[in-house]
Structure 1
């Protein structure tokens, strides 16, 4: 398992050892259940435990499930918001969450948003970008949609076959006289070649805006991966490692940039009657910020549990011909946000057939990212969208399958997934 760098803890912010049911009573949640943790750890140590087909689990298994902290701890925070009658516009929960989040992530400033797509649009606006932006075809469509909403033209470059992140050499080959920036994605939370991309940007005088939607809490040897580039954008959507129902943030390098971004997300207002730029409404509400504050108490435990599930999958899937687990890309602290595998030659069935087999048994995996962004009709006509220019991304999109991973995932379900993948034809 990859090395982990523990974050310093605020002594006043003690984390409960056990999580209760939704009403504050009942049995503890599996998230902080020591018995479940030990069963998962035992499965990771002994792959044989994961190669048996257990009794079917009742109900479907989805690729992810949002972690929600105890409602009993959230209710008093809701009552305080109700009593204050301050619901948005930078209330006390919003201010405290920005401060605590920046401290947790180890970054200078964060500007909170109602979602990450809005944050991407504002990040691009804040840098005054025009023309072309070199980006990855291997991501969720919001990456390129944000460019298009900003009046920019996405130019797709191929990805690295090991990390599935933007290849700096391919980026450099895609630069034209109209190129103004690079928008990479830390895919699956694995860091891009930040030094290689920075070198390309320096040589050509380009900005870098990182779509870091998958990279909450990820660190390299020197600190937060979010410190790289001109700006980094986080997502707190319900499917992410850290969620605020909906939400996002821009990591800002200094107070001046944060002030500019805060104005842009509030219609461009600079005081009660002055509007200084064409802004929009991207503010996070007090309800979302309150949930974020509570989630910070639990995030380390949630990531720890994901790490154990990741290790269990790797142990159980090791040695299956034609199946490759995607490795990290040198992170000192990973967040285990996804568990992608590549289904290639030598495996008994094609990727789509395996997806259908698992789906028929109630195991809902996802083909992240198929199709490529560049395959969608609004982008397919661009010269850079031609699949012949994107051989690595095209192959990855045709082979990728993301398996279920979330903090409450039971070892019996992990074993069931592994057993079916090990014998997809039921022989």
Structure 2
């Protein structure tokens, strides 16, 4: 079976060497030496000053929202994974959906300002498929209205914009290190900020809000373990190699697919891509479902990602219409993509799609 993704596993003996160190020290969690080592490595790789390694890519979004001053509305995108909306609801904020740019599939900054009210507290946008949001336009709006900017960068690790990590933009940027991601720690995530005082609060927040016997504020268990950090330490030096391998797969798809009846997002100017996903948009949902069925008959499993448009989630009341997101979400498929995907399999997938378009 060819799945939409495959977890990259590093050299087994190298990972076991880290496990031996953990066994010898009996230090498993609570910000251990490997977690600290990984944090330093991530900061160096991303070129950022403040980063907290945490349990997953959802809890870091929750932590960012916890630092806001008071409840209210969060302007957000309908074209993202459900976690982006769930955390807003979970933290008792109201999501206000703004439609996406039909070219980049990221939130459309031209529509943000009209959605702002006296209750707006932040803008939470997603760098979709590792594509860059219009960070300059969003920053300008946020400064005008004194809003916090949170970027869901679950897809953005290894992507650079204008020579800097895409995760260095915004007041907060979060990342997922789930096993399906380009860089992973099995389960994990990180939150990045550009303010030391916020970083220190986040550092305390992920450890129940206390240090020793000194309690500062309400916190949560957002820590990660030494076992997960060990996987990250094995994988981090390989990121450039993995991106190059994924690029080769993407380039082959682009070369082989019949673009007469397909489309894809336009990548932001100044973006150095990480090749996190390979989305294609069909002319209709009917055609997309037919192709998906054909691929499934050959044990090839793409993914409807993202589907549905989040403003159509059944547990929302009176969400805003987002016609662009609703349309694309019905027609998009992410094709299989990982660093070890054989090029003959890419050729077979492209041939099947072209034959049935």
Task: Please state which band the TM-score falls in when normalised by the shorter chain.
Answer: over 0.9
- Shift of the 174–254 alpha-carbon distance from structure 1 to 2, 3 Å rule, reads closer
- Please state if 1:361 is matched with 2:298: yes
Question: What CA distance in whole angstroms lies between the structure 1 residues aligned with 2:208 and 2:47?
Answer: 29
321, 327, 335: which is aligned to 2:274? 335
How far apart, CA to CA, are the structure 1 residues paired with 2:270 and 2:261? Answer: 26
Distance in 1 of aligned mates of 2:233 and 2:69: 32
Residue 405 of structure 1 corresponds to which residue in structure 2?
A: 337
Counterpart-to-counterpart distance in 1, 2:184 and 2:349: 26
So what's the TM-score if we normalise by structure 1?
0.81
Deviates more, 1:64-73 or 1:222-231: 222-231
Alignment equivalent of 1:151, drawn from 92, 95, 98 = 92
- What is the aligned partner in structure 2 of residue 240 from structure 1? 181
* CA-to-aligned-CA distance 1:69-94 (integer Å, 9 cap, x gap): 01111101000001101111111101
From 336, 346, 350, give the equivalent of 2:287. 350
**Are positions 1:173 and 2:138 aligned together?**
no
- 1:306 maps to 246
| Cα offset, 1:283, TM superposition | 0.0
Determine helix, strand or coil for the equivalent of 2:112. Answer: helix
Q: Which residue of 2 is the match for residue 281 of structure 1?
A: 221
Superposed CA RMSD: 1.4
Q: Determine the C-alpha separation between the residues in 1 that align with 2:261 and 2:114.
A: 32
Distance 1:99 1:284 in 2: 15
Alignment TM-score, normalising by the size of structure 2: 0.97
Query: Aligned partners of 1:255 and 1:206: how far apart in 2?
Result: 18
Q: CA deviation at 1:375?
A: 1.4
- Tell me if the contact between 1:66 and 1:240 (Cα under 8 Å) persists in the aligned partners: yes
CA deviations over 1:292-322 (Å, ceiling 9, x no partner) = 11111211100100011110000001x4322
Q: Map 1:219-298 to 2 at 5 A.
A: 219-269=160-210, 271-298=211-238
Q: What pairs with 1:103-252 in structure 2 (closer than 5 Å)? A: 103-252=44-193
Contact 1:191 1:331 in 2 (8 A): no
1:374-405 alpha-carbon deviations (Å, 9 max, x no partner):
212122x1342xxxx31110111111111000
How far the C-alpha of 1:205 sits from its partner, in A, is: 1.4
Per the TM alignment, residue 277 of structure 1 is displaced from its structure 2 partner at its CA by: 1.5
Alignment-derived partner of residue 310 in structure 2: 373
Structure 2 unmatched ranges of 5 or more:
none
Aligned to 1:8: none
Which residue pairs with 1:393 in the alignment? 325
Unpaired segments of 5 or more residues in structure 1? 1-59
Larger radius of gyration: 1
SS at match of 2:356: coil
Which range moves more in the overlay, 291-300 or 208-217? Answer: 291-300
Contact 1:341/1:402 (8 A) holds in 2: yes
Deviation at 1:226, TM superposition (A): 1.3
Could you tell which deviates more after superposition, 169-178 or 63-72?
169-178
Rounded Cα–Cα distance in structure 1 between residues aligned with 2:333 and 2:70:
35
Give SS of 1:297's match.
helix
Report the CA distance between 1:129 and its aligned residue: 4.5
